[in-house]
């Protein structure tokens, strides 16, 4: 009887213990399972994201690589063109070339100047009369007629630059340049205009400035000399070019188709206001204004908004 009671008690206790032990153990295992699942879920999410990133990165890479292939084709074409040039050459931005070439004089021009002047004897009068002789010499052989402008140089024209952003990192890259061609562009400059000996006021003035530079190099003395473009108030279609030589301050000599300031076979330097009046008188009494300038050594150019601005430039900057 007692034994049976004891057995019953043990069985009941064992039942409780089994249930309690396994409940705790299984709960612990469930926690572990949950943790393991979280780790897995986290890793697989990162994996999927990385997979997606790789796909987009791969697309980005392919796009840039494809763009590079297109750009290489353009570059190879350009190099082939450049390699096929049959003479020794240098590559120069067209503006830089103009800056170097516009007022450059040739040996022929130097000889022309030397022949006209015989060089400088060191006196002020000879310097001024030489400047006048150069003007008259050039004016006597120059013909006012359309210039042929037959000489052209090849220009590498690479156009339509198209940029894009990569899909992944959003980096900007050059996607395409859709046109690359060699364009032959006409070349303008004093040496060509001198050789043609004909042209418009532009050609006449540019060559005269260049001849003066040649003379300054021969004489070893120079005066600030510039190509000047002019207009006239109330005469909108009038646009012309002349040459201005500065002595000092605002003392200037102006050379148009005719010399505006000359006396006794020499250039005469007059105060600017007076020279401007004489210049206006030469142009049928028009009120002349000075629009812009170009000069070499080093090349400079600019435009003026008003006569006051021109005057300030003349006195302070023209050196």
Partner 1 sequence: MGGLRFFMDINRPRLLTSLSILLLASNILTFTYFYLDNVRLREAIEGERSRYGEAVESYRRELDIYTVLNRSYYEALEMNRRLEELLMYFRGKLIVPYNYTVILEDEAP
DSSP string for residues in 204-219: HHHHHHHHHHHHHHHH
Three-class SS state of 25: helix
Does 64 bind partner 1 (CB under 8 A)? Our answer is: yes
Contacts of 137 (CB under 8 A, 6+ apart): 112, 116
Task: Round to whole Å and give the CA distance between 129 and 135.
Answer: 10
Does 297 bind partner 1 (CB under 8 A)? Our answer is: no
Among 80, 88, 236, 319, binds partner 1 (CB under 8 A): 88
Alpha-carbon distance values, 173 to 57, 67, 165 (Å): 14, 9, 6
Site string for partner 1, 179-218 (x = CB under 8 A): ------x-x-x-xx--xx----------------------
Nearer to partner 1, 117 or 166 (CB): 166
Interface positions, 147-166, toward partner 1 (CB under 8 A): 148, 150-151, 153-158, 166
Nearer to partner 1, 158 or 247 (CB): 158
Does 177 bind partner 1 (CB under 8 A)? Our answer is: yes
Nearer to partner 1, 68 or 125 (CB): 68
Does 303 bind partner 1 (CB under 8 A)? Our answer is: no
DSSP state of 169: T
Nearer to partner 1, 192 or 242 (CB): 192
Task: Round to whole Å and give the CA distance between 20 and 51.
Answer: 46
The secondary element (H helix, E strand) that includes residue 158 is: strand 152-165
Task: Round to whole Å and give the CA distance between 84 and 298.
Answer: 33
Interface positions, 91-150, toward partner 1 (CB under 8 A): 91-94, 97, 101, 104, 106, 108, 148, 150
- Work out how close the CB of 26 gets to partner 1 at its nearest, in angstroms, rounded to a whole number: 5
Among 171, 181, 233, 309, binds partner 1 (CB under 8 A): 171
């Amino acid at each position: 009887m007692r034994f049976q009671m004891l057995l019953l008690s043990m069985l009941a206790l064992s039942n409780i213990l089994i249930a309690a032990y396994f409940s705790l153990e299984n709960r612990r295992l469930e926690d572990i399972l949950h943790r393991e699942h979280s780790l897995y879920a986290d890793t697989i999410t990162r994996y999927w994201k990385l997979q997606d990133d790789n796909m987009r990165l791969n697309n980005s890479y392919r796009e840039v690589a494809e763009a590079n292939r297109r750009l290489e084709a353009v570059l190879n074409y350009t190099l082939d063109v450049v390699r096929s040039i049959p003479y020794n050459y240098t590559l120069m931005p067209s503006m830089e070339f103009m800056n170097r070439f516009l007022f450059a004089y040739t040996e022929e021009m130097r000889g022309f100047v030397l022949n006209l002047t015989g060089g400088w004897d060191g006196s002020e009068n000879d310097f001024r009369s030489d400047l006048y002789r150069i003007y008259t010499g050039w004016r006597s052989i120059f013909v006012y007629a359309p210039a042929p402008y037959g000489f052209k140089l090849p220009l590498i024209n690479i156009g339509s630059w198209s940029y894009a952003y990569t899909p992944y990192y959003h980096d900007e890259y050059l996607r395409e340049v859709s046109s690359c061609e060699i364009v032959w562009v006409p070349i303008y400059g004093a040496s060509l205009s001198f050789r043609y000996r004909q042209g418009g006021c532009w050609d006449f003035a540019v060559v005269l400035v260049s001849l003066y530079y040649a003379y300054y190099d021969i004489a070893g003395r120079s005066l600030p000399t510039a190509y000047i473009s002019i207009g006239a108030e109330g005469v909108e279609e009038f646009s012309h070019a002349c040459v201005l030589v500065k002595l000092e301050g605002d003392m200037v000599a102006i050379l148009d188709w005719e010399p505006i300031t000359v006396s006794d076979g020499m250039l005469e330097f007059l105060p600017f206001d007076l020279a401007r009046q004489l210049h206006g008188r030469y142009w049928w009494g028009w009120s002349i204004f000075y629009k812009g300038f170009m000069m070499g050594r080093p090349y400079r150019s600019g435009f003026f908004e008003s006569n006051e601005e021109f005057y300030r430039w003349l006195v302070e900057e023209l050196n």
